């Protein structure tokens, strides 16, 4: 007997794809994930999980696993000028006071998401090379010769998505003009460091941040430095630790002392896109960086991808093969695209604040905006995508 339940195929086995798979599976849908690499891997170091996404992950049963591998971010979190002058507190709670904020190693987060899925759901070594669809369903073709049929396809294949061209005209990612040096240090190397603190130092054209990982056993650092040469979007390119240290010479001794302990580091180029005009086409929906790549200056990239997956799961729950999939996915776009586009643009603006660029060269004005950013942060963290999607579920609620 052929099941009448929807089959959702996800292309991309990163954080966004696996978070969506968990949300969909939790709500009773059939899910398959296709990842082009031969094994699941998440390079890079730290990522923030904020209240707006953590509450969704906790609801589907991942709270304990995340608590084991994450590092609570809380006391001592502050913004500074480059010399160490305090600018203001960094908000680490939602408006109810819930401290649902972790610093996490990207690999740890990916592992939690993968471990929560049945082993037969994830298919590695599947590079997508083709997509077609009709009224009966969608078809994915892979480089290894496999053909997969699905009722819904979710493109969670990153900023260079191969499926995005089936939704909107191809466009190149935009280089932000910055290189980010990153790495981790064991806390034993910096024993006086504030164990729960997220700290950001802001200077002329650059900034530096630190936050904890892995239950506070590691410190993640990132230095954002301007460069005239376009830098590849690589998470694994080896950086020059002397160049990194020289970029922040003369800054707060806490920064220079930490950098003196660095032996190796990595760098990557920062890219995003202007908000896309469209996220869906028929049975195909974009998710995460395939839909809304954003700069890291609000720490919301992974969090917005998790919101995407939750919204799709709520909208698709309980539907069968006779459902008007195109209409459902258009509802997903109508709900998600305005919020994600706003976060994309705010991430750009926040980067300019951190780096004292454009209208933020007046440091007094910049500092006021940074110190008063708690209201905006609360609006981000209070947002409950599950509840918003349920409230958005009646056909009359779709914007014109």
Q: How far apart are CA 248 and CA 81, in angstroms?
A: 12
| Dihedral class, residue 116 (left if φ above 0, else alpha if ψ from -120 to 50, else beta) | alpha
Q: Which of 348, 226, 367, 359 is nearest to 294 (CA)?
A: 348
Written as one string, the DSSP assignment of 45-80 is SEEEE-HHHHHHHHHTT-HHHHHHH-EE--TT-EEE
| Dihedral class, residue 222 (left if φ above 0, else alpha if ψ from -120 to 50, else beta) | beta
Pairing of strands 284-286, 152-155: parallel
Q: Identify whether the C-beta of residue 99 lies closer than 8 Å to the C-beta of residue 93.
A: yes
Catalytic residue among 81, 106, 179, 182: 182
Q: How far apart are CA 112 and CA 330, in angstroms?
A: 30
Contacts of 130 (CB under 8 A, 6+ apart): 139, 140, 141
**What does the angle CA 205 – CA 291 – CA 389 come to, to the nearest 5 degrees?**
115
Q: How far apart are CA 45 and CA 236, in angstroms?
A: 10
Helix axes 51-59, 374-382, angle to 10 degrees: 20
Rg over alpha carbons for the chain, rounded to the nearest Å, is 21
Please say if 182 is a catalytic residue: yes
Contacts of 191 (CB under 8 A, 6+ apart): none
Note the helical H segments in 241-324: 241-247, 253-260, 301-316
Encoded tokens for 185? 């240090």
Active-site amino acid positions: 182
């Amino acid at each position: 007997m052929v099941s009448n339940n929807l089959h959702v195929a996800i292309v991309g086995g990163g954080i966004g794809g696996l978070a969506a798979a968990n949300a969909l599976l939790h709500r009773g849908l059939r899910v398959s994930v296709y990842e082009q690499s031969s094994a699941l891997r998440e390079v890079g170091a730290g990522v923030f999980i904020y209240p707006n996404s953590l509450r969704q992950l906790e609801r589907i049963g991942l709270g304990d696993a995340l608590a084991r591998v994450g590092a609570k971010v809380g006391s001592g979190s502050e913004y500074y000028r480059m010399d160490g002058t305090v600018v203001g507190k960094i908000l680490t709670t939602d408006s109810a006071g819930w401290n649902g904020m972790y610093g996490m190693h990207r690999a740890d987060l990916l592992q939690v998401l993968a471990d929560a899925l049945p082993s037969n759901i994830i298919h590695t070594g599947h590079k997508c090379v083709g997509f077609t669809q009709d009224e009966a369903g969608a078809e994915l073709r892979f480089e290894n010769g496999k053909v997969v049929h699905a009722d819904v396809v979710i493109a969670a294949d990153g900023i260079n998505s191969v499926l995005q061209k089936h939704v909107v005209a191809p466009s190149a990612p935009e280089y932000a003009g910055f290189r980010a040096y990153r790495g981790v240090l064991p806390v034993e190397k910096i024993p006086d460091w504030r164990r729960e603190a997220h700290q950001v130092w802001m200077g002329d054209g650059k900034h530096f941040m630190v936050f904890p990982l892995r239950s506070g056993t590691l410190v993640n650092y990132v230095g954002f430095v301007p460069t005239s040469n376009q830098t590849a979007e690589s998470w694994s390119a080896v950086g020059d630790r002397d160049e990194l240290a020289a970029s922040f010479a003369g800054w707060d001794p806490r920064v220079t002392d930490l950098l003196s302990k660095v032996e190796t580091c990595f760098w990557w180029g920062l890219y995003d896109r202007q908000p896309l005009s469209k996220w869906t086409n028929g049975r195909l929906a974009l998710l995460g960086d395939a839909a809304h790549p954003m700069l890291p200056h609000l720490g919301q990239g992974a969090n917005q991808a998790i919101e995407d997956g939750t919204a799709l799961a709520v909208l698709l729950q309980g539907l069968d093969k006779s459902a008007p999939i195109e209409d459902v996915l258009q509802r997903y776009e109508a709900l998600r695209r305005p919020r994600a586009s706003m976060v994309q643009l705010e991430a750009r603006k926040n980067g300019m604040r951190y780096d004292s660029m454009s209208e933020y060269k007046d440091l007094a004005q910049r500092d006021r905006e940074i110190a008063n950013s708690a209201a905006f942060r609360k609006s981000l963290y209070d947002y409950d995508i599950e509840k918003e999607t349920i409230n958005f579920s009646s056909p009359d609620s779709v914007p014109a």
